[in-house]
Amino acid sequence: MRFVPPSRDDRRLLLVTGSFLLVAAVFALGVLWVATARDSDLKGPIYLGMRGHLIENIVDESPRYYAHPDGGDGFWLDVEDGQLVALVIDVPGTKSCVVKWREQRDAYVDCNDQEHQSADLARYRLTVGSRGDSPKNSVYVNLTPKKVSPAPG
């Protein structure tokens, strides 16, 4: 079998095809970046649902975990003295030790297996009321770090 060197046309075809593939890859990455880029600061409170329905579900079942819409730490929605509270999942004074609800222990349990009650956790500002066209018993939470209240307990 004899080796035939690539002709000038073959090299040109490879160069043009490679250039088109490179441009297409850069374009696709640009589209993905634009589609997934988002402002990391939330603008205003987040709607959670209707007050009565949320309280009923939590009392009948357990606290509800909500993921943060911007990918940060979420929060626990719980009932404390008949009122809804939005609990910060980080143990006060830490940034990497989060609490999880454990039904069997009827408590929040942190990364060190320590038990906590809702009064031990900081909370986000939670409001009940209408905004725009929403009903008067709508529940909203403000996840702005500056709006966090310390744990009352």
Q: Residue 102: CB partners within 8 Å, gap ≥ 6?
A: 108, 109
Q: Residue 17: CB partners within 8 Å, gap ≥ 6?
A: none
**pLDDT tens digit string along 80-89?**
999 999 999 9
- The percent of residues above 90 in pLDDT, for the chain, comes to 45
Please provide the average confidence, as pLDDT, over all residues in the chain: 86
46-147: CATH architecture: 3-layer Sandwich (2.102)
| Residue 38 pLDDT grade (very low, low, confident, very high; cuts 50, 70, 90) | low
Dist CA 86 CA 73 (whole Å): 12
The residue with greater pLDDT, 150 or 115, is: 115
